[in-house]
Structure 1
Amino acid sequence: MSVKIFNTQEVQDFLRTAAGLTNEGGNPRAKEIVHRIVSDLFKAIDDLNITSDEYWAGIAYLNTLGARSEAGLLSPGLGFDRFLDMRMDAEDERLGVETKTPRTIEGPLYVEGAPVEQGFARLDDGTDKDGHPLIMQGTVFGADGKPVPGAKVEVWHCNTKGFYSHFDPTGEQQPFNMRRTIITDDQGRYKFQSVLPKGYGCPPDGPTQALLNQLGRHGNRPAHIHFFVTADKHRKLTTQINIDGDPLVYDDFAYATREGLVPPLVEHTDEASIKANGMEGPFTEIVFDFELTALIDGEDNQLVHRARMAA
């Protein structure tokens, strides 16, 4: 079609009606958002000459996306999660807030209720025989530059098959495998033992990968480890580190890699290090410190409330 009707008074009045702007009841904020989004989609249909067949194919895609529970996977793949982080960064810059440890996306696979350990935790249950042993440790620093005792470090990552506990289609992992909450010691230190995770990709038969194929993009992530770090009088830090040397470190389909979040790996093969860390053989060590930011006028101005799985 060559006709353009978006800017007609009839369509503009219709948009206001459809978004409930002509009604007394309802939620004003919801009306504002729906009006804008539906208006933008109407305009896109007009400008791009989107056909009825293409529109209904899109509706079928959304149904499939929901049925496969992949909306939280497509979101970072299309850059929405990164864009929200970019807006938070811009707000910090406007306020003059320096964020020394970069934030980055949470991802869709966090689970509430991981076992709590003091100072040190063993994350893996020892059944992932393909995993290379890992020790990761560091200190949580407050906005004043001093270590923070009692800070909460929540950590989670996948196994060497690229699966997270509670979401593992093989059913091999026990609940909370490779998930823990570590409370920092009296010197603000945390430490955990696990195995190096592997990178993984979107389900190849899923709707997220299907759309990425249409865009000529891969759906793979480099190996990484997720963190929430919280402490009194500080903003919650959501971040993750990538495993140095992974070929996709700077080609993450979810756009989560940031400078400062790719710490070096140190390989230990000497008996002294192995014995000092209670390991049975060679292991990789990562040392990484977290630096938190203070509350803004007593509030965490960037705290994200979203639906999360609890177990």
Structure 2
Amino acid sequence: MTVKIFDTPEVQNFLRLASGLEQDGGNPRTKQIAHRILSDLFKTIEDLNITSDEYWVGVAYLNRLGASSEAGLLSPGLGLDRFLDMRMDAEDAALGITDGTPRTIEGPLYVAGAPVEQGYARLDDGSDKAGEILIMHGTVYAADGKPLAGAQVEVWHANTKGFYSHFDPTGEQKPFNMRRTIVTDAQGRYKFQSIVPVGYGCPPDGPTQGLLNELGRHGNRPAHIHFFVTADGHRKLTTQINIDGDPLVFDDFAYATRDGLVPPLVKHEDNASIKAEGLSCPFAEIVFDIKLSKLVNGVDNQIVERPRLAA
């Protein structure tokens, strides 16, 4: 038997009570959000006839998710991070902002405080012997299209096991391995040497993959490299590029792939190219130019305040 009580005065008054709308203290914005979330959850329980058993499975899942510190992993997996980007894209369109390098999700594995280098940096420490040498470079352009000197290009990526320093369960990586901040030179150029990363998957026994299994979805990401790019007078760019040729480039469980963010990966095996880079073996090259966008009425509306690891 299915009963419908959501729209009754009793339930509606109870929602106001539970979300604190009848209380003088507290935060009005928090009350507004709590009231909406509780209302939507109550309505979902009623519309889908969710049982008490199913509800408590959900509570147990949330406990497990928190204990595993995977909420930041589940968020992009359910498309929430991408939806926030879609909203910012729509806001830009409404403001007439149509150029600039596309944004995409930050992910949960940024660490503040990476060493700062001028123009060029070596990201990896040479300990990952399975990695193919990568030379990546490009120019950062201002909103007016001119090369932008002094821009900060923060870069971070995984190793060939799919692990990031500071989050590596093997303990093999030293702090800030494959993480640097590069300040562009007088011509707006940045360049770094590292290794070609590989993609990674959600922990197979973790709560994120468990839910994805229930949805019939995989939890794997293509190989990718993250960027924060900042400069005076411009909005902060949060983006990442996918490694061309990875079979999951357009099947990313985190929905981060976007047009313009899959630059070609070129293999160099000729002696002239190898010698020009001061190397002794073949390498891969990626050229990725970045264009920043102007402030909106003097304000950077791209800044996102969220918990981040600092070291």
Normalised TM-score (structure 1): 0.99
Q: Quote how far apart the aligned CAs of 1:302 are.
A: 2.4
Other structure's SS at 2:210 match: helix
Number of residue pairs aligned between Structure 1 and Structure 2: 311
Q: Quote how far apart the aligned CAs of 1:290 are.
A: 0.5
- Quick one: distance in 1 between partners of 2:53 and 2:222? 37
Q: Does 2:264 match 1:264?
A: yes
2:264 maps to a residue whose letter is P
Question: For residue 177 of structure 1, what is the aligned residue in structure 2?
Answer: 177
Q: Does 2:4 match 1:4?
A: yes
Task: For residues 159-188 of structure 1, give each alpha carbon's deviation from its aligned partner in whole angstroms, at most 9, with x where no partner exists.
Answer: 000000000000000000000000000110
2:157 maps to a residue whose letter is H
Question: For residue 286 of structure 1, what is the aligned residue in structure 2?
Answer: 286
- Quick one: distance in 1 between partners of 2:164 and 2:125? 13
Q: Quote how far apart the aligned CAs of 1:273 are.
A: 1.1
2:224 maps to a residue whose letter is H
Other structure's SS at 1:201 match: coil
Q: Quote how far apart the aligned CAs of 1:272 are.
A: 1.4
- Quick one: distance in 2 between partners of 1:201 and 1:210? 12
Task: For residues 40-66 of structure 1, give each alpha carbon's deviation from its aligned partner in whole angstroms, at most 9, with x where no partner exists.
Answer: 000000000000011111000000000
- Quick one: distance in 1 between partners of 2:230 and 2:277? 26
- Quick one: distance in 2 between partners of 1:280 and 1:164? 27
Question: For residue 191 of structure 1, what is the aligned residue in structure 2?
Answer: 191
- Aligned CA-pair RMSD: 0.6
1:306 maps to a residue whose letter is R
Other structure's SS at 2:53 match: helix
Question: For residue 138 of structure 1, what is the aligned residue in structure 2?
Answer: 138
Other structure's SS at 2:177 match: coil
- Quick one: distance in 2 between partners of 1:301 and 1:184? 23
1:1-311 residue pairs with structure 2 within 5 A? 1-311=1-311
Of 266-275 and 165-174, deviating more is: 266-275
Other structure's SS at 1:187 match: coil
Other structure's SS at 2:225 match: strand
Other structure's SS at 1:273 match: helix
CA contact (8 A) 2:106 2:226 kept: yes
Dislocated runs of 4+, deviation >2 Å: none
Q: Which runs of 5+ in 2 are unaligned?
A: none
2:211 maps to a residue whose letter is L
Q: Quote how far apart the aligned CAs of 1:100 are.
A: 2.7
- Quick one: distance in 2 between partners of 1:38 and 1:133? 51
Other structure's SS at 1:220 match: coil
